[in-house]
């Protein structure tokens, strides 16, 4: 099994690229954002509790997403590896993921870190607001808060992964196809 993190600020293209990469490399795409939005859409108690936090652009508690991911890892078969999207988002989540993988004889093999300029992130998210219906895309102040939360709580994971020799920065500016090509080039050296 080869396990990748796709990493980057809100709007950097993690979800867009994950769908294409998961298909190309036979990886299971695990997005905690998608899992949380599915809970909200299903009207579960968890979804109701998390929806207020998400609509403000804050992070949900580490314990919630760690449990979601653990459940998915144990239930998957017939794949070449995992592609984690939007998880981990704190150093504590990264440590928990490493432990989860290590106890199952796996590791984080590569962090693909998309680098996108601030104004491009905002432009993409405002553009998506028209079609996504996502509460966290509707308000420019919430978009800025999501980027601030990323810089404060999530970006430090890059240093953590660099120290472990798995950090791979990828230019996330340009067309979806060009960025896909850059990601594939990096991943082909690892699989
Ligand atoms: P999550 O769903 O993970 O959202 P996010 O990180 O804010 O990322 P986005 O989905 O907004 O962006 P993306 O990088 O996937 O870009 P996309 O491909 O969609 O999390 C949402 C919330 O859930 C969090 O704020 C938090 O509350 C909670 N949460 C989730 N995981 C958590 C965790 N682990 N711990 C704690 N809380 C957690 O692209 C964006 C737009 O740009 C799209 O419209 C797309 O079509 C367009 N686009 C993509 N690429 C390009 C391109 N190259 N050129 C032009 N447009 C492009």
CA 8 to centroid of ligand 1, rounded, Å: 9
**What's the rounded Cα separation, in Å, for the pair 93 and 19?**
23
The pLDDT tens digits of the residues spanning 46-64 come to: 999 999 999 999 999 999 9
Q: Of all protein residues, whose CA lies closest to atom 23 belonging to ligand 1?
A: 33
What is the value of pTM for the model shown?
0.97
Ligand 1 contacts CB of residue 11 (under 6 A): yes
**Who has greater pLDDT, 134 or 188?**
188
Nearest Cα residue to 8 out of 127, 184, 123, 168: 168
Please determine, for residue 33, whether its predicted confidence score (pLDDT) is greater than 90.
yes
pLDDT at 76: 82
CA 121 to centroid of ligand 1, rounded, Å: 10
Q: 3-class DSSP state for residue 134? A: coil
The pLDDT tens digits of the residues spanning 137-146 come to: 999 999 999 9
Domains of the chain, residue spans? 2-186
The pLDDT tens digits of the residues spanning 97-134 come to: 999 999 999 999 999 999 999 999 999 999 999 898 89
Per-residue confidence at 74, pLDDT binned at 50, 70, 90? confident
Q: Of all protein residues, whose CA lies closest to atom 49 belonging to ligand 1?
A: 13
CATH superfamily of 2-186: P-loop containing nucleotide triphosphate hydrolases (3.40.50.300)
Mean pLDDT of the chain: 97
**What's the rounded Cα separation, in Å, for the pair 154 and 149?**
7
Burial class of residue 32 in the structure, from the number of CB atoms within 10 Å of its CB (0-12 exposed, 13-18 middle, 19+ buried): buried
> Percent of the chain scored above 70 by pLDDT?
100
How many Cβ atoms from other residues are within 10 Å of residue 72's Cβ? 16
Please compute Rg for the chain using Cα positions: 16
Please determine, for residue 75, whether its predicted confidence score (pLDDT) is greater than 90.
no
CA 137 to centroid of ligand 1, rounded, Å: 10
The pLDDT tens digits of the residues spanning 159-182 come to: 999 999 999 999 999 999 999 999
């Amino acid at each position: 099994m080869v396990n990748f993190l796709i990493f980057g600020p809100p709007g950097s293209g993690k979800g867009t690229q994950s769908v294409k990469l998961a298909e190309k490399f036979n990886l299971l795409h695990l997005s905690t954002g998608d899992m949380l939005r599915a809970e909200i859409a299903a009207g579960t108690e968890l979804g109701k509790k998390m929806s207020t936090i998400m609509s403000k652009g804050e992070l949900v508690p580490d314990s919630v997403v760690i449990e979601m991911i653990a459940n998915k890892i144990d239930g998957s078969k017939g794949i070449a590896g995992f592609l984690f999207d939007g998880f981990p988002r704190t150093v504590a989540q990264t440590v928990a993921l490493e432990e989860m993988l290590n106890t199952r004889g796996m590791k984080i093999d590569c962090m693909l870190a998309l680098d996108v300029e601030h104004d491009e992130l905002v432009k993409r998210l405002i553009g998506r607001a028209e079609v996504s219906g996502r509460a966290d895309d509707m308000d420019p102040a919430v978009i800025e808060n999501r980027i601030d939360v990323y810089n404060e709580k999530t970006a430090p994971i890059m240093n953590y992964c660099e120290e472990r020799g798995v950090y791979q920065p990828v230019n996330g500016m340009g067309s979806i196809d060009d960025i896909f090509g850059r990601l594939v080039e990096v991943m082909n050296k690892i699989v």
